Amino acid sequence: MKNVLITGAAGFLGSHLCDRFIKEGFYVIGMDNFITGDIRNLEHLQSHPNFEFIEHDVTQHITIEKPLDYILHFASPASPIDYLKIPIQTLKVGSLGTHNLLGLAKVKKARLLIASTSEVYGDPLVHPQNESYYGNVNTIGPRGVYDEAKRFQESITMAYHRFHGLETRIVRIFNTYGPRMRLNDGRVIPAFMGQALRGEDLTVFGDGSQTRSFCYIDDQVEGIYKLLLSDYVYPVNIGNPNEISISDFAEEIIKLTNTSQKAVYKDLPVDDPMQRQPDISLAKKLLNWEPKVSREEGMKKTYAYFKSLSKEDLFKRDHRDFSKHIKP
């Protein structure tokens, strides 16, 4: 049996990856400090014989007794609201956290896959974005803490690959959605669905002409799994190229949820990328992978999940105290 360590395991993507690796017959060690995650995402695995959980902040030294074959580093705040609230933690988990995991991978002779992002392309001047595009990032803007941490993460990972011969993989994830996203994390899908369920208007930022391309979680996990087992060391985009403007998307959600509310327009956040669509030619060729779940089908499943949450969850605002996670 092969052992895999998954950081960010209590989060949206991490918890689905735990499920997938358990299903594939791995022994899974999940690690998280719950800064943006939720233990309920892992409740169903707690008594599984091939699963263990370690509560730990990956920016601190990591000790694992067992041998490791694979490490997937998914710990990081991922929503603009989260990384604006905890900018230093975001920088640390992408830099110090990644450094710790690279060191661990070296000692264990494990293969490490890191979760990078379409944000390395910033507000892109090339459309759709392919892996050879270097990006257009404002280093000192509010999103810079996330974008630059992820860019540094890619650089240090390649340095460990080149200098130490470490086996590494880099996935550039484009907007991914599905069950277990946090309802109040501020990302557009939980935001719109939560607003529809609470009977509030849907808040479209800017004039809504900015675009995104949404990938369903099962497709994303399949792409990551295939990339991990491939022999390709350079970054690979995984996402769904089906692009839509945010104002059209709000209309789709209004229809899906049958809400009588409407879209209302608010200020556009600073440096909000104007267009985003992955060029997935490389993933198609290399991994024989492409997304299979349509936006209609994926949004239905995601809405069913949000509808199943308690009233308390639905109306819970994010009043968490992050200070306990911030060590001097």
Catalytically active residues are 146
Phi, psi of 138 (to 5 degrees): -85, 105
Q: Which of residues 41 and 210 has its CB atom nearest to ligand UDP in the complex?
A: 210
Beta carbons of 134 and 77 less than 8 angstroms apart:
no
Q: What is the three-class DSSP state of 249?
A: helix
Scanning residues 149 to 188, which ones bind ligand UDP (CB under 6 A)? Answer: 175, 186-188
- Report the partner that residue 205 touches, choosing among ligand UDP, ligand NAD, none (CB closer than 5 to 8 A by kind): ligand UDP
Q: Which of residues 259 and 287 has its CB atom nearest to ligand NAD in the complex?
A: 287
The one among 191, 197, 287, 293 contacting ligand UDP by CB under 6 A: 191
DSSP 75-136: -S--SHHHHHHSHHHHHHHHHHHHHHHHHHHHHHT-EEEEEEEGGGGBS-SSSSB-TT---B
Q: Which of residues 78 and 166 has its CB atom nearest to ligand NAD in the complex?
A: 78
- Report the partner that residue 115 touches, choosing among ligand NAD, ligand UDP, none (CB closer than 5 to 8 A by kind): ligand NAD
Residue 175 beta carbon to ligand UDP: minimum distance, rounded to whole angstroms: 5
Residue 173 beta carbon to ligand NAD: minimum distance, rounded to whole angstroms: 4
Q: Encode 26-58: b = buried (16+ Cβ within 10 Å), e = exposed.
A: bbbbbbbbebbbbeebbeebeeeeebebeebbb
Cβ count near 284 (within 10 Å): 11
- Contact call for residue 116 and ligand UDP (CB under 6 A): no
Q: Which residues bind ligand UDP (CB under 6 A)?
A: 79-80, 175, 186-188, 191, 203-205, 210, 212, 246, 269, 272
